[in-house]
A = this chain, B = another copy of it.
Amino acid sequence: MKIKNTFMNLIGNNDPASKFNRKKMLTTLSPVIGLVALFILASSLSNVFLTASNLTNVLRQVSVLGFAALGMTIVIITGNIDLSIIGNVSMSTTLVAVLLQNGWDVVPMILVVLLASSTIGLLNGLIISYFKIESFVITMGMQVVCFGLSLFIAGGRTVIVDNLAPFMLNLASNKLGMIPVMFIILLGFYTVFYIFTKKTKMGRYIYALGGNEEVSYVSGVNVTIVRTTAYILSGLMAGVAGIFTFSRSLCGDPAAGSALGMYVVAAVVIGGTKMSGGRGSVLFTIIGILIIGIINNTLNLVGFEYYAQQIIQGLIIIFAVVISSKKRR
């Protein structure tokens, strides 16, 4: 009972007694069930899948996506969307490369990158709040702006860095046992954000904004600040994702973010967060990124024809979303 309670708390339900919750638990758990099913499928399709080194691989590969999806989850919980993330990741990646190339130290470099990426978030939040427009096209426009900026920063080419500090050199490859350090850092971020969204005042306002903006407003909450906070966090995470993207390839590719493409939103929704806002949990986004990571890993391991890979990937995403949703009526 104690364990169940803790679990129910984890999934954001503080009321374990009621009948509704068993049903709710099941629907909240469905992403986990999907993950397990995919896990079994993957191991039966490829005997390499379950090897330790492959699993390490998967964890490393999902990390960048994980940072981006964390920010996206926060924004989606507010009932908005942030398509600028992938542009922002590109911009941050090239900025990392250019700063390092120009001999900056790691710490000031990180600070400047995060400042720049958060500024993009700040702008998103302010424009959307001030003009009261839908976030989709605004952040889409911002994505294009960011791509332009990253081409500008990189001077149109992949930026190569000559004398890399060991810290940056090993950031992606370091491991703690079998677990990549990147992934541990990712889990750290998720934990902090989880506590932030569930236990702090601002976190609750973020949920409330997605639930009913009007009520937040008439209850005296400054919705502009809440929304902008969410976007700043999302920008910040795009910056972190950019730093790790750099650490994976050790160069600044101005199109780096486009590899994330649609996976960011897909991971969030597969994790059970509703795009209509107000519902979901950052923790479950981890499930979402793992599902996506395993799909891509397995498709590579099994080595289907490329067109078949696309078809299978699309179908599995559809399937995963279907599983992680429940009937409303």
The interface residues of chain B lying within 8 Å CB-to-CB of A149 are 307, 311
A276 to B133, CA, bound (A): 11
Interface size class of A (residues with CB under 8 A): 35 or more
Q: Are B309 and A148 in contact (CB under 8 A)?
A: yes
Q: Are A310 and B132 in contact (CB under 8 A)?
A: no
The contact of A133 among B145, B266, B321, by CB within 8 Å, is: B321
Known: A131-B327, A142-B314. A266 touches B137 (CB 8 A): yes
The contact of A270 among B137, B142, B146, B312, by CB within 8 Å, is: B137
A188 interfacial contact with B, CB 8 Å = no
A37 interfacial contact with B, CB 8 Å = no
A152 to B309, CA, bound (A): 11
Q: Are A317 and B134 in contact (CB under 8 A)?
A: no
A317 to B142, CA, bound (A): 9
CB distance from A197 to the nearest CB of B (A): 20
CB nearest to A319 among chain B residues: B141
The interface residues of chain B lying within 8 Å CB-to-CB of A248 are none
Q: Are A156 and B329 in contact (CB under 8 A)?
A: no
A143 interfacial contact with B, CB 8 Å = yes
Q: Are A311 and B269 in contact (CB under 8 A)?
A: no
Q: Are B137 and A269 in contact (CB under 8 A)?
A: yes
A239 to B276, CA, bound (A): 30
The interface residues of chain B lying within 8 Å CB-to-CB of A316 are 141
A318 to B270, CA, bound (A): 29
Q: Are A137 and B314 in contact (CB under 8 A)?
A: no
Interface residues of A in 293-329 (CB under 8 A from B): 306-318, 321-322, 325, 327-329
The interface residues of chain B lying within 8 Å CB-to-CB of A148 are 307-314
A143 to B130, CA, bound (A): 33
Write the residues of chain A forming the contact surface with B, with a CB cutoff of 8 angstroms.
83, 127, 131-134, 136-138, 140-149, 151-152, 156, 262, 265-266, 269-270, 274-276, 306-318, 321-322, 325, 327-329
Jot down 26 A-B pairs with beta carbons below 8 A, ordered by A. Answer: A131-B325, A133-B321, A133-B322, A133-B325, A134-B274, A136-B265, A136-B269, A137-B266, A137-B275, A137-B318, A138-B318, A140-B265, A141-B266, A141-B321, A142-B318, A143-B314, A144-B310, A144-B311, A144-B317, A145-B314, A147-B314, A148-B308, A148-B312, A152-B308, A152-B311, A156-B307
